[in-house]
Amino acid sequence: MDEDAKKEPARSRKPSGILPSAQRRGGPVQIDLLGAKLMRPLLGKRGLGEGDICFHWAAIVGGSFLATNSAPERIQFPKGERSGGILHLRVPSGALATQLQHLTPQIIQRVNGFYGYPAIADVRIHQRPLPPRPRKASDPPPLPEPARERLALQLQNVDHPALKDALAKLGEAMARRDMTPPDKKGRQRG
């Protein structure tokens, strides 16, 4: 009788692996949600819990000079509490650190307003280099006149304006790609 009881749970287990289509979660997923999900464990180790303060730092302090020249490092809470913490900020220069000391009350107010409760009671400023930020893509250089004329000649028989515009953009992108020199392995960049 004991043997039957041991075998029964094994039979009732669901097979691991592929789920039926009704149980699968498919469809588009916002990339920022994936990023937040991946970063949550890493940021949690630094006391930044959900990581919201890192992702929304520019919105919290106002997308200004302050947002681009400071970065939150961690939040240090008293043991067993989730309020009254110390926000550790990283700034690249001593002059900016002095300026930030004068803005400490506003930073505390904005961070607490973002969280909706008094999460931060104090701010500590550390002078260290900021982590590198991703560069924004700049506008591509204009096409040379001969390439632009060739493209216009190829598109002169297209009557639909939206299609002509889309084909012109595609043609410009392809012409730019052909103008860029190949990388060290002989592949086209861009």
**Is the confidence at residue 15, as pLDDT, over 50?**
no
User: Percent of the chain having pLDDT more than 90?
Assistant: 19
Q: Where are the domains of the chain?
A: 43-127, 145-179
Structure tokens at 167: 């084909």
pLDDT digits (tens, 9 = 90+) for 138-165: 677 778 888 889 989 999 998 998 999 9
Please tell me the number of Cα atoms within 13 Å of 168 on its side-chain side. Answer: 17
Cross-sheet strand order for the sheet of 71-76: 71-76, 85-91, 120-127
Distance, in Å, from the CA atom of 89 to the CA atom of 74, rounded to the nearest integer, reads 7
Structure tokens at 137: 């893509």
What residues have CB less than 8 Å from 131, skipping those under 6 apart?
71
- Of 119, 57, 65, the C-alpha closest to 89 is 57
Contact 57, 38 (CB under 8 A): no
- Mean pLDDT calculated for residue range 88-112: 91
- How would CATH label the architecture of 43-127? 2-Layer Sandwich (3.30)
pLDDT digits (tens, 9 = 90+) for 35-94: 656 666 655 555 555 567 877 888 888 867 888 889 888 888 888 888 899 999 999 998
pTM confidence score:
0.50
Q: pLDDT value at position 12?
A: 47
